[in-house]
């Protein structure tokens, strides 16, 4: 077959795939083995991985590396953090562009890791992936859950879900639906409750976290919970009220704020301000799940300002209570 016959389809493939093409695609485009040998000899293509080629010999962009990984394991889709990076583009917070590319293949296949490629097997890969994306990738909700499954701390899980919702790439109900389809998942029940709270606009998981991780764990007095309070224009319910010590604790469980990390910093400043005799404090996920010991020490100071004569107790040998 003459070069003119396959030149246009090969050019179209290279254009659509960031300059990357596979041997199988070249064959489908009409290339014979000697045609491929000629392109390699003329340095029109260069070997990236066995059976996958790129149209230059310089440093590869992240997208090119992603295409190489997908085509080297085909049929495959970007997975985990790599799928999130493909969806969000460069600058994804906390993502290392130099890290190996993650791809998923069907659970029935045995595909080994390759240079710069980490392979995972996924049940139901076909319906869980967007094959028309460039490069193909698992659906956003599936990628978020894959990342979340490997996070060690509850706060990290919350922040990852918050980032996904905040970026408007998904919603809490869609994440919850994807979670429900998983047969096994770490902290499944807890995460389902967090996502249900987010969808409903409530903070019951956060409230329980405050009770369990801050108040009880550090020997603070028991608060009155969900007590009605009349204010101008209506009635509100206080999340945790310490009437004997003139202190209210409000729990802010919103995850869709424009910048959760920035909001967390604001809440931390509010808590510090409250230690200077402000009698109401608002706490968020970070104070309860990431820094419960420091939060307990701060709340204890506020209670002491109101007349509490007790002493907070450390929750563990490494607890920082009393040292803040």
Q: pLDDT tens digit string along 289-308? A: 999 999 999 999 999 999 99
pLDDT computed for residue 1 by the predictor: 43
The whole-angstrom separation of Cα 33 and Cα 196 is 56
Residue 188 to residue 180: CA distance in whole angstroms: 9
Nearest to 40 by CA among 27, 29, 54: 54
209 three-class SS: helix
- CB-CB contact of 155 with 286 (8 Å): yes
**From start to end of the chain, where are the E strands?**
20-22, 46-49, 52-54, 77-78, 101-106, 117-122, 129-130, 137-138, 224-231, 234-242, 247-251, 280-283
Q: What's the pLDDT at 2?
A: 47
Nearby residues of 141 by Cβ (< 8 Å), 6 or more positions away: 164, 170, 174, 175, 177, 178
Assign residue 100 a region (left: φ > 0; alpha: ψ between -120 and 50; beta: otherwise): beta
Residues with Cβ < 8 Å from 161, sequence gap 6 or more? 144, 148, 172, 175, 191, 194, 195, 198, 255
**Is residue 239 within 8 Å of residue 203, measured between CB atoms?**
yes
The tokens of 278 are what? 């402000």
188 neighbors 148 (Cβ within 8 angstroms):
no
User: In whole numbers, what is the pLDDT of the chain averaged over residues?
Assistant: 86
Q: Is 3's pLDDT higher than 60?
A: no
* CA 234 to each of CA 212, 226, 228, 230, 237: distance values in angstroms, whole numbers, following the listed order: 30, 15, 10, 6, 10
Question: What DSSP character marks residue 217?
Answer: G
Tell me, which fold does domain 204-305 have in CATH?
A: Trna Endonuclease; Chain: A, domain 1 (3.40.1350)
Average pLDDT over residues 227-236: 54
Q: What are the tokens at 208?
A: 């329980």
Strands in 46-49's sheet, in edge-to-edge order, are 20-22, 52-54, 46-49
| Helix 80-88, helix 140-149: angle, nearest 10 | 140
Of residues 221 and 277, more confidence is placed in 221
pTM equals 0.72
Token readout for 195 is 């996502």
Contact 26, 62 (CB under 8 A): no
Q: Report the alpha-carbon distance of residue 125 to residue 77 in Å, rounded.
A: 8
Of the listed ranges 79-93, 252-266, 309-323, the least confidently predicted one is 252-266
**Is pLDDT above 80 for 200?**
no
Q: What is the mean pLDDT of residues 114-134?
A: 95
> How far is it, in rounded angstroms, from Cα 210 to Cα 184?
27
Going from N- to C-terminal start, the domains of the chain cover: 3-54, 139-200, 204-305
User: What proportion of the chain, given as a percentage, has pLDDT over 90?
Assistant: 58
Q: What are phi and psi of 59, to 5 degrees?
A: -60, 140
- Looking at residue 319, the DSSP 8-state letter turns out to be -
């Amino acid at each position: 077959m003459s070069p003119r016959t396959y030149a246009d389809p090969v050019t179209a493939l290279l254009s659509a795939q960031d300059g990357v093409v596979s041997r199988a695609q070249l064959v489908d485009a009409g290339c014979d083995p000697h045609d491929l040998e000629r392109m390699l000899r003329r340095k029109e293509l260069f070997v990236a991985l066995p059976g996958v080629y790129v149209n230059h010999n310089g440093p590869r962009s992240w997208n090119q590396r992603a295409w190489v990984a997908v085509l080297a394991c085909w049929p495959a889709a970007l997975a985990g953090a790599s799928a999130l990076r493909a969806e969000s583009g460069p600058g994804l917070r906390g993502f290392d562009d130099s890290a190996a590319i993650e791809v998923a293949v069907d659970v029935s296949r045995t595909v080994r890791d390759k240079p710069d490629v980490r392979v995972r097997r996924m049940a139901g890969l076909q319906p869980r992936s967007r094959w028309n994306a460039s490069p193909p990738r698992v659906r956003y909700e599936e990628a978020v859950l894959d990342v979340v499954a490997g996070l060690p701390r509850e706060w990290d899980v919350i922040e990852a879900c918050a980032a996904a919702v905040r970026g408007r790439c998904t919603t809490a109900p869609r994440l919850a639906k994807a979670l429900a389809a998983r047969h096994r998942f770490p902290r499944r029940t807890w995460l389902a409750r967090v996502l249900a709270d987010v969808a409903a606009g409530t903070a019951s998981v956060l409230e329980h976290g405050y009770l369990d991780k801050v108040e009880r764990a550090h020997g603070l007095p028991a608060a009155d919970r969900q007590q009605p309070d009349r204010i101008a224009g209506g009635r509100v319910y206080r999340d945790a009220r310490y009437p004997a010590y003139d202190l209210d604790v409000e729990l802010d469980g919103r995850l869709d704020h424009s910048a959760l990390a920035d909001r967390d910093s604001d809440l931390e400043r509010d808590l510090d301000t409250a230690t200077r005799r402000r009698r109401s404090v608002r706490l968020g996920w970070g104070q309860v799940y990431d820094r419960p010991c420091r939060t307990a020490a701060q709340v204890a100071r506020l209670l002491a300002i109101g007349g509490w004569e007790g002493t907070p107790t450390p929750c563990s040998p490494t607890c920082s209570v009393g040292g803040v």
